[in-house]
Structure 1
Amino acid sequence: MEGVVDWIMRDTLTRLGGIDQCTTEFIRVTQYLHSEIVFRKFCPELRMNSRTPAGTPVFVQLLGGQPEPLARNAERAARMGAAGIDLNFGCPAKTVNRHDGGASLLKCPDRVLQIVKAVRAAVPATTPVTVKIRLGFDDPNACFDNALAAEEGGASSLTVHCRTRTDGYKPPAHWEWMPKIREKVKLPLVANGEIWNRADLERCREVSGCDRFMIGRGAIANPFVFQDLRGWRPAQAPLWTDVKPLIPGFFAACTDHINDHFATSRTKQWLRALSTKNQEAKELFDGVKTYRKPREFQSELERRLLS
């Protein structure tokens, strides 16, 4: 999730437990080999055996359209200790798609095959290469050829966001395609899309037949969703008393490690996401969203959190 799940958010979420694995924001690959500085910017966990402080493995996600540059960048990430390489063929953003990345590749399964094959050959056999796709760009039937391409290329697992690029994020997610894909490939399959709570997970499990799941937006809206999914806490909307203590630490980490302008925008972004599941978060967001100057924002945020 580009522009959302950076290392600070990964740290915040994985400390709460329940997450088996996470990925970086996508690193855009054109014809150039990124420096180690760039990889550490996106994945500072590379300094810690590619794990968050809580010990959760972090895969480096790459996005691009050319096999050779992607392979070279994957090799460098693996050499730096990446827990795995994740290839993004699912991003629906128009800017990304116009520049030969993300879901636009789903129009040509042979290109998916060549990319996966090149990356698989470039990294050690012990380094997983995972692939994420959508059902297709505009035709869900494309999922079959793209799944076969990922398997033939040597992918370790395949995550399917159960909508097309044309669908965007419009509900519902079409989990019913997962059993059809399973008839075509032997790859471990991971279901993704519209899993917000335990009830959604159980419906997805029943419909998709999957026992592996990827959660994106649901984790930003409810940081405790993984505890919910594992049955570690009551199946309910996140309590404000649980969520509220996370916000000052998140803001402080963004300020300390980036800058106060970044902290202001990212905290607003997170509060907006939290607002979809929590009324108190919505009230807090409504109260601070108009503050643009970092010091004024911080002062109002602290005042409201203490009230």
Structure 2
Amino acid sequence: MTQLVLAPMEGLVDWRVRQLLSAVGGFDQCVTEFIRVSQTLFPAHVFYRYCPELHQGGTTASGQPVLVQLMGHDPQLLGENAAFAVELGAPGIDINFGCPSKTVNKREAGASLLKCPENLFNIIRAVRAAVPAHIPVSGKIRLGYADKTLFLENARAVEEGGAQHLTVHARTKLEGYKPPAHWEYLARIREVLSIPMTANGEIWTLEDYIRCRNISGCTSFMLGRGAIACPDLAARIKAFETGEAPVKQSWADVLGILLAYIDLLAADGATENHQAGRIKQWVSMMRKGHSAAATCFDEIKRIRDIHDLRAKLTEDRDKPENRHHDKLIAA
């Protein structure tokens, strides 16, 4: 059966977005934004800030488990933080070996660790040893740093370190997020691993998913920017696989999600500027998924007052013409 995972995108997919997108349907699991481990064992409030779902059994309000993702270069320190996250209720630990950020990579973390497979092995082994046997440990990698020379060695290192699962973003650090994603490499990785693997990269539409599935041979897929651009993408994929008729979102439905996001931000004490910024960020990304998003973004991009922004979104949500299925844009 196809498994769909909501990607951990820093500065974009917080617990509110996880709650809203998982409620739409289709997702089986979520992963937090990375917690950067560099010098200390974090206190509980840090883990709760990144993963408030820990207060409710480590799941979203819709019941999907949320893995806590850690990133760093010190095996022992990562192990200690992983063990504490599990004490707080994390249902699983994921290690980030793929972040392409220049700042992160200058500090020997993220994708920079892919230069030496032994880094991955040592970190996974330490984390695996630090948490109870029934708690899954996984790793997320890219195909390499500057090139793909070590893509198989890095994948093997994660498995040999004791991970139960591997996610592969089908690009190198140098390739960043530029198309295409090299799904053909995922098929080669699958041939040498005995643990399950999740495919990640450039799945924006149902058609992209089908091509990725056929090329990679994977049955588990991580959706990132595609799920932000089209909030019901996961539900569409699941409906396709089960043969059910998908419940297609209208633009009014999407605007309802954005309004609910404002409510969640406001309830959590976010400043009005932050609320407006996050909404504009989301609508901007939706331009790749929904035909109505470009017009919406042009109309709201200069609105600074959150009350005016909320009023505009509410007005558009209530227009009869926006209650019909919005045309999706092919990637």
Distance 2:37 2:280 in 1: 29
Kindly indicate whether residue 82 of structure 2 is the aligned counterpart of residue 71 of structure 1.
no
1:37-56 correspondence to structure 2 within 5 Å:
37-56=45-64
Do structure 1's residue 128 and structure 2's residue 128 form an aligned pair? no
Q: CA deviation at 1:26?
A: 0.6
TM-score, length basis structure 1: 0.95
**1:257 maps to which of 235, 255, 268:** 268
Aligned residues between the structures: 306
C-alpha contact 2:252 2:316 (8 A) present in aligned 1: no
Distance 1:241 1:165, change over 3 A: same
Displacement of 1:233 after TM fit?
A: 4.4
Question: Would you say the 8 A contact 1:239–1:278 is kept in 2?
Answer: no
The residue that corresponds to 1:31 in the other structure is: 39
Which 4+ stretches in 1 moved above 6 angstroms?
none
Counterpart secondary structure, 1:245: helix
Instruction: Mark the runs of 5 or more structure 2 residues left unpaired by the alignment.
Output: 1-8, 320-331
Which of 284, 301, 306 lines up with 1:289 in the alignment?
301
CA distance in 2: counterparts of 1:76 and 1:234, whole angstroms: 40
* 2:99 aligned with 1:87: no
Deviation at 1:185, TM superposition (A): 1.9
Cα contact 2:105–2:112 (8 A) shared by 1: yes
**Partner in structure 1 of residue 210 of structure 2:** 202
Larger RCO (CA within 8 A; separation ≥ 6): 2
Letter in structure 1 aligned against 2:277 = S
CA distance in structure 2 between the aligned counterparts of 1:52 and 1:23, rounded to whole angstroms: 11
In the alignment, the residues of structure 1 paired with residue 35 and residue 245 of structure 2 have an alpha-carbon distance, to the nearest angstrom, of 35
Question: How much does 1:184 deviate?
Answer: 2.1
Q: 1:184 matched to which residue of 2? A: 192
- RMSD over aligned CA atoms reads 1.6
Q: Which string of whole-angstrom CA distances, capped at 9 and with x for unpartnered residues, describes residues 193-234 of structure 1?
A: 111122111111111111111111111111100111012545
In 1, the alpha carbon distance for the partners of 2:37 and 2:56 equals: 24
Cα pair 1:60 1:86 within 8 Å, conserved: yes
Q: 1:245, 1:235 → 2: CA distance?
A: 15
The residue aligned with 1:273 is: 285
What amino acid sits opposite 2:292 in the alignment? E
- Alpha-carbon distance in 2 for matches of 1:269, 1:10: 16
Q: Which amino acid aligns with 1:287?
A: E
Q: Which amino acid aligns with 2:106?
A: R
State the AA in 2 paired with 1:132: K
State the match for 1:99 in structure 2. 107
Query: d(CA) in 2 for partners of 1:299 and 1:53?
Result: 27
